[in-house]
């Protein structure tokens, strides 16, 4: 019974120490949130699949734009449009 009582006291002291550390620690500073762009990004249409992607993320081949390297390699595709 003495060992059980000692273990209970150790658990209570450990929990109290954990709570004390949790509430006295300074909060980590929040990283700067990225600011929303003031203007919408220009969009371009993939010549292979027709998906619109931001021009910054698109791949260009002359005047043609593609959404991925695979579509750039496959070239333009006519989907009956």
Separation of alpha carbons 75 and 50, rounded Å: 12
pLDDT of amino acid 52: 94
DSSP states of 12-77: HHHHHHHHHHHHHSPPPPPPPPPPPPSSPPPEEEBTTT--EEETTT-EEETTEEESSHHHHHH---
pLDDT of amino acid 68: 92
64 and 45 in contact (C-beta within 8 Å)?
Answer: no
- Eight-state DSSP code of residue 80: -
pLDDT of amino acid 51: 92
Stated pTM of the model: 0.49
* End-to-end Cα, the chain, rounded Å: 84
pLDDT in tens, 3-38: 899 999 999 999 999 999 988 887 766 666 666 667
pLDDT of amino acid 35: 67
- CA 68 distance to own-chain centroid: 20
């Amino acid at each position: 019974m003495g060992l059980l009582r000692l273990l209970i006291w150790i658990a209570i002291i450990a929990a109290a120490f954990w709570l004390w550390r949790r509430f006295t620690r300074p909060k980590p500073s929040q990283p700067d949130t990225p600011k929303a762009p003031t203007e919408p990004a220009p969009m371009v249409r993939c010549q292979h699949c027709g998906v619109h992607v931001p021009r910054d993320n698109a791949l260009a081949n002359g005047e043609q734009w593609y959404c991925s390297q695979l579509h750039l390699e496959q070239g333009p595709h006519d989907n009956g449009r």
